[in-house]
């Protein structure tokens, strides 16, 4: 039998969007008369508008339902209840849905006033009406921050847990009058969480999936009273997953499986927000793979589980010269330095991107989803590591890149957890660059996990006695505001109130902005501002920088690696540590994108050879133990020279003749070379026909297969 709310009057606060909107629509669809209350504030708590509430009322009425709008603050509880009495003559159900991000002031009194006192005022105004009619259902909305606490949210957590205490007392006092009160702690995708959740998680946690539980709790047949739904009695049930792939959820399904949902056999006790939310990812994975029932681990809110799998996100990043210039300005470049003009003026003959622009494409996938899979996750953006490795230098300054992010590992650091995130960025199907970020999650440690990972990209410890270069650069008060325009919209870098929550006296500079400063210092001192020399960079963010402070980069070079550390000059505090930049040597320029028209087709093959050497170099040296020289001709003239060294160290590929150290040298035209590697031209036939010329140890030509195999598809 379906659940009906005919004749019931329901007040939903915060009903202009998110969960509140879903509640209002669901109640109206089942016959309830709904008061749609919403101030119409934006996600930051500013402004006031009737548009949000009016739109929901229009939706309900368009479907034949009954609804009126109310625009009063919850602090005017009597007005809200009077709207219900004036419009429908009674009040039967109250749902409080109000989130922290929708308030405009973060001080303690305001949070308590809106969340706790507001709920008190609305409920008090309706209490006697409910008692007199011998029916009432009240739903309070708390959060994981209230249940478990959360770093930097003392005021919010206190108010949210206060709501639970209020609800429990109302449940006791209202029981004999058939007035029941329950509390929910939902996790749902909305306009407030879409900035911190991956898009796929936002889609999977639709607000409409919470509504069936709420409707059942508000129905006259439901005798549940004094419950907390995310957990009950501070424990989590094994529960039952009522959601199935491509099937709508219903309150009837919640009702029919209520005994399983509330069965505390083998219950668990989550110790924190992170552990509480791990289970959600497990159930979402089961739903998407259509495996619900194989391991039913829903909580009392129809979600649950005990493990989290790495979640991959994908995003597209479209850019042009504007983004390249904006990034250069964000990391402190200025027209005062004539060497900077090539990065700031799109018509400059050598115009190009700074090499560290590669982090911007990768951060798009993290900002759209990835660093925080759930709201309330205590990420400390001032700690962690960053690695950028370029396969090809970004020669073009416009296009669309695709980035894929994966969780490579999770480490237990005691006071927190470290998420190791790998991001590969592609131009078409070609890997352009690799980024690795390690992100510190406050309060998520102590779960008994490993402290180190073999997946971490590490460098060599610096030798502080060998400092050979020093570069100082004062940051601008505008740097944080400028840098965020490249896509990192974290309010920590612009909003004084938000920064104060993190314990900072003012907004801080982005860690990756300091990263960009240091990288261009190295580029100037050791690479003549030639971005094509740049190969890779790694840095650990040690301390934050305040806009306006001076950055001092100390550098020393060992081979093609430049070690560095970056300090705040005014305080002598190290802000980037354990850092290095790998440069291509003078004759070791990076492998460039294939030129458009008239270029050498063989460039692509040598690019692949370089990547193979980088990943399998030691193995190739063991198998080959030789140095190969290549002379590629076009139109009868030498067009390119390459040296493949598979004798020294872990192997290397150089552009150029290699100083005459080749054991064997091959001369071949660009076209014939491609036919050889694609298997269209037999190397022996090419040799005897004069298309392939060999100097030196001719027997080593037999080892060409080891180097050139698997390129038939090119």
Catalytic residue annotation: 156
Crossing angle between the packed helical segments 154-174 and 118-133, to the nearest 10 degrees: 10
Backbone angles phi, psi at 628, to 5 degrees: -110, 135
Q: And the tokens for 115? A: 């969340």
Instruction: From residue 412, give the alpha-carbon distance in Å to each of 46, 421, 600.
Output: 39, 15, 49
Closest CA to 661 of 712, 705, 626, 619: 626
Q: How many CB atoms lie within 10 A of CB 270?
A: 22
Let me know how many helices (H) and strands (E) the chain has, helices first.
22, 22
3-state secondary structure of 17: coil
Q: How many CB atoms lie within 10 A of CB 62?
A: 8
Strand order in the sheet with 179-184: 66-70, 33-37, 9-13, 93-95, 136-141, 179-184, 228-229
Beta strands in 264-378 (DSSP E): 313-319
Alpha-carbon gap, residue 262 to 48, rounded angstroms: 40
Q: And the tokens for 404? A: 């894929």
| Chain-centre distance for alpha carbon 168 | 37
**Could you tell me if 115 and 163 are in contact, meaning their C-beta atoms sit under 8 angstroms apart?**
yes
DSSP state of 686: H
Which pairing describes strands 66-70 and 33-37: parallel, antiparallel, or unpaired?
parallel
Alpha-carbon gap, residue 43 to 28, rounded angstroms: 25
Instruction: From residue 122, give the alpha-carbon distance in Å to each of 111, 131, 140, 239, 298.
Output: 16, 15, 11, 32, 32
**Could you tell me if 424 and 434 are in contact, meaning their C-beta atoms sit under 8 angstroms apart?**
yes
Closest CA to 520 of 339, 321, 335: 339
Alpha-carbon gap, residue 650 to 621, rounded angstroms: 7
β-bridge partners, 430: 427
Closest CA to 313 of 196, 226, 395, 215: 196
Q: Which helix (H) or strand (E) holds 111?
A: helix 108-111
3-6, long-range: CB < 8 A, 24+ apart = 3/30, 3/215, 3/216, 3/219, 3/221, 3/251, 3/252, 3/255, 4/30, 4/31, 5/30, 5/31, 5/32, 5/93, 5/215, 5/218, 5/219, 6/30, 6/31, 6/32
For the chain, the distance separating the N- and C-terminal CA atoms, rounded to the nearest angstrom, is 64
β-bridge partners, 692: 668
Strand order in the sheet with 626-634: 652-655, 637-646, 626-634, 664-669, 692-696
Closest CA to 374 of 200, 498, 497: 200
3-state secondary structure of 310: coil
């Amino acid at each position: 039998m379906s659940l009906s709310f005919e004749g019931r009057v329901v007040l939903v606060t915060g009903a202009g969007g998110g969960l509140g909107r879903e509640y209002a629509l669901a109640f109206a669809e089942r016959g309830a008369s709904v008061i749609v209350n919403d101030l119409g504030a934006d996600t930051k708590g500013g402004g006031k508008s009737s548009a949000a509430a009016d739109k929901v009322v229009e939706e309900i009425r368009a479907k034949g339902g009954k609804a009126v709008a109310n625009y009063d603050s919850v602090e005017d509880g009597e007005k809200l209840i009077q709207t219900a009495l004036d419009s429908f003559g009674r009040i039967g159900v109250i749902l409080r849905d109000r989130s922290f991000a929708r308030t405009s002031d973060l001080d303690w009194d305001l949070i308590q006033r809106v969340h706790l006192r507001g709920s008190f005022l609305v409920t008090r105004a309706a209490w006697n009406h409910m008692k007199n009619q011998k029916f009432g259902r009240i739903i309070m909305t708390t959060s994981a921050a209230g249940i478990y606490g959360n770093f930097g949210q003392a005021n919010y957590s206190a108010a949210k847990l206060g709501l639970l205490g209020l609800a429990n007392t109302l449940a006791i006092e209202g029981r004999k009058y058939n007035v029941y009160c329950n509390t929910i702690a939902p996790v749902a995708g909305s306009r407030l969480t879409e900035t911190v959740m991956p898009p796929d998680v936002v889609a999977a946690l639709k607000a409409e999936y919470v509504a069936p539980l709420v409707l059942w709790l508000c129905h006259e047949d439901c005798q549940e009273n004094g419950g907390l739904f995310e957990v009950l009695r501070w424990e989590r049930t094994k529960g039952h997953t009522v959601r199935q792939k491509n099937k709508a959820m219903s309150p009837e399904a919640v009702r029919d499986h209520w005994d399983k949902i509330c069965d505390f056999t083998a219950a668990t006790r989550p110790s924190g927000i992170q552990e509480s939310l791990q289970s959600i990812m497990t159930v979402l994975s089961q739903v998407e793979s259509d495996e619900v029932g194989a391991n039913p681990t829903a909580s009392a809110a129809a979600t649950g589980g005990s493990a989290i799998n790495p979640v991959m996100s994908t995003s597209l990043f479209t850019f042009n010269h504007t983004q390249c210039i904006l990034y250069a300005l964000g990391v402190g470049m200025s027209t005062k330095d004539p060497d900077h003009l090539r990065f700031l003026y799109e018509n400059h003959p050598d115009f190009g991107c700074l090499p560290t622009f590669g982090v911007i494409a990768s951060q798009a996938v993290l900002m759209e989803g990835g660093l925080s899979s759930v709201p309330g996750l205590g990420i400390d953006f001032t700690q962690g590591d960053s690695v950028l490795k370029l396969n090809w230098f970004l020669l073009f300054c416009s296009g669309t890149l695709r980035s894929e992010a994966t969780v490579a590992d999770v480490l237990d650091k005691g006071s927190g957890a470290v998420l190791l995130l790998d991001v590969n960025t592609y131009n078409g199907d070609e890997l352009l660059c690799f980024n690795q970020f390690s992100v510190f999650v406050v309060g998520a440690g102590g779960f008994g996990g490993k402290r180190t990972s073999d997946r971490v990209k590490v460098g060599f410890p610096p030798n502080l006695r060998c400092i050979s270069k020093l570069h100082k650069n004062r940051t601008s008060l505008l740097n944080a505001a400028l840098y965020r325009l490249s896509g990192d919209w974290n309010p920590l870098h612009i909003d004084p109130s938000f920064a104060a929550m993190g314990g900072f006296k003012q907004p801080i500079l982005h860690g990756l902005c300091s990263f960009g400063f240091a990288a261009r210092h190295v580029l100037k001192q050791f690479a003549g501002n030639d971005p094509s020399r740049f190969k890779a960079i790694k840095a650990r963010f040690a301390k934050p920088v305040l806009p306006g402070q001076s950055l001092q980069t100390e550098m020393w070079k060992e081979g093609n690696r430049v070690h560095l550390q970056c300090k705040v000059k005014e305080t002598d505090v190290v802000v980037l540590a354990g850092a290095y930049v790998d440069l291509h040597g003078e004759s070791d320029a990076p492998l460039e994108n294939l030129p458009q028209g008239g270029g050498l087709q063989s460039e692509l093959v040598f690019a692949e050879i370089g990547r193979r050497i980088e990943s399998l170099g030691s193995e190739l040296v063991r198998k080959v133990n030789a140095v190969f020289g290549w002379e590629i001709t076009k139109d009868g003239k030498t067009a390119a020279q390459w040296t493949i060294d598979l004798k020294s160290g872990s192997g290397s590929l150089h552009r150029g003749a290699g100083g005459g150290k080749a054991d064997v040298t091959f001369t071949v035209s660009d076209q014939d070379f491609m036919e050889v590697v694609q298997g269209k031209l037999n190397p022996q036939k090419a040799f005897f026909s004069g298309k392939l010329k060999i100097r030196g140890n001719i027997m080593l030509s037999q080892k060409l297969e080891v180097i050139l195999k698997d390129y038939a598809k090119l």
